[in-house]
Amino acid sequence: MQAVYAPNTPEQTLITQSMFWDTLLDNEKTVVHEVHTFGKNKLKIDKPITHIRVNIFPDGGLSRVRVYGKVADVKADS
C-alpha cells in the first residue's frame, strides 16, 4: 500500500506520479476468506496523507479496504 499527501492536485497528475508515492504498508502475505488488520505500528509513514493506493500481486480479489484516521489541519499554502 502506498500513500501521498497531495491536496488540490489534479487527478491526472496523481495518476502519473503514483508510481513514486511513499510506501505506507510493506507487502504482506494474506489468505482468502480472512479479515486482515494492520495496526499503526505497521505503518511506515507517520504524517498526513490525502490518497492511498493498494497494490495487489498477483492480481486477485479484494472485497473492501477500510482506512481509519483523523482529519489533520491543512496549511493555507497547500
Q: What is the pTM of this model?
A: 0.76
The answer to whether residue 18 sits within a structural domain is yes
- Going from the C-alpha of 55 to that of each of 30, 59, 72, the distances in angstroms are 13, 9, 25
Confidence of residue 75 (pLDDT cuts 50, 70, 90): low
The answer to whether residue 61 sits within a structural domain is no
Q: What is the pLDDT of residues 45-63, one digit of tens each?
A: 989 999 999 888 777 777 7
In angstroms, the CA 11 to CA 30 distance is 30
What domain range includes position 35?
2-53
What total of structural domains would you count in the chain? 1
The answer to whether residue 59 sits within a structural domain is no
Q: Which residues contact 46 (CB under 8 A, 6 or more apart)?
A: none
In angstroms, the CA 73 to CA 36 distance is 30
The answer to whether residue 31 sits within a structural domain is yes
The answer to whether residue 77 sits within a structural domain is no
